[in-house]
Chains A and B, each alone.
Chain A
Amino acid sequence: MLASLSYREKTLYASLAAELVVYGSYFFLHGQNSVNQVAGMIVAIIVLQIILQSVIAVLTRNRVTDERDRLIELRGYRAGYLALASLMVIGLGMLWFHATVGHLRLDSGMVGLHFLSVFFGMLVVADITKTATQIVVYRKTL
């Protein structure tokens, strides 16, 4: 199956795997309220991506990308943007709701960390949506 995939598809599967491993462990195995952990996740995803993409580049002889790859990439970015915009609207709505009904005190010291975690989560979901959309479009009619 791996041989039937283009270079771009292989890099997408590697990206998705890296995102799920790093972000998944962040959200499900650790606590979320730490600036150091967010910074650690960003460093981890960059390092893992560099390693995986380097291995794929070395193992793939034909690294051609073409107009279809670029079109699929744009589809992925559109899906990622829509996911991010939707999550931002929902997130801001929830923030307004909690601030209004009094459960969230905006002068609390933990609010900054809470915001950081929530917005980082939104970026993660948007990023995974982008990559997953590209993989799906590669397998479907364009």
Chain B
Amino acid sequence: MPAIRNQIRELRALRELTQQELADQVGVTRQTVIAIEQDKYSPSLETAFKVAIALGVPLDQCFQYDSRGKR
């Protein structure tokens, strides 16, 4: 299990946002949004905040840290 997990896919679905729309709002590529959703890439703190703001939730509702996870 990865050290940093996220609920972006679920939150994005609730807001009916596509991956491209979220990527455009955050200023990253659609491929980066896909990698984050699949826990293949842990974004920088700045990008994580931008994602949380775009989804309209606090950061800790969007990303969670598990100290037992692999990084």
Q: How large is the interface on B (under 10, 10 to 19, 20 to 34, 35 or more residues)?
A: 10 to 19
Residues of chain B having any CB pair with chain A under 8 Å? 23, 27-32, 35, 40-41, 43-44, 47
Q: How far is the CB of B36 from chain A (nearest CB, A)?
A: 9
Closest 10 CB pairs of A and B: A66-B28, A6-B31, A141-B40, A6-B29, A68-B32, A142-B41, A64-B29, A66-B32, A67-B44, A66-B29
Q: Give Cα A138–Cα B30 distance, bound, in whole angstroms.
A: 13
CB-based A-B contact count at 8 angstroms: 41
A sample of 17 more A-B contacts (CB under 8 A), given A6-B30, A68-B29, is A5-B31, A6-B31, A9-B31, A62-B29, A64-B23, A66-B27, A66-B28, A66-B29, A66-B32, A66-B47, A67-B43, A68-B31, A68-B43, A69-B32, A138-B31, A141-B40, A141-B41
Q: Give Cα A4–Cα B27 distance, bound, in whole angstroms.
A: 18
Q: Is A65 an interface residue (CB 8 A)?
A: yes
Number of A interface residues in the complex (CB < 8 A): 17
In the bound complex, do residue B47 and residue A67 qualify as a contact, i.e. CB atoms below 8 Å apart? yes
In the bound complex, do residue B27 and residue A68 qualify as a contact, i.e. CB atoms below 8 Å apart? no
Instruction: Across the interface, name the chain B residue whose C-beta is closest to A68.
Output: B32
For B23, B31, B41, the residue with the greatest tally of chain A CB atoms inside 10 Å of its CB is B31
The 8 A CB mask of A118-142 against B (1 = contact, 0 = none) is: 0000000000000000000010111
> Of A7, A9, A68, which is within 8 A of B41 by CB?
A68
- Which of chain B's residues have a CB closer than 8 A to the CB of A138? 31
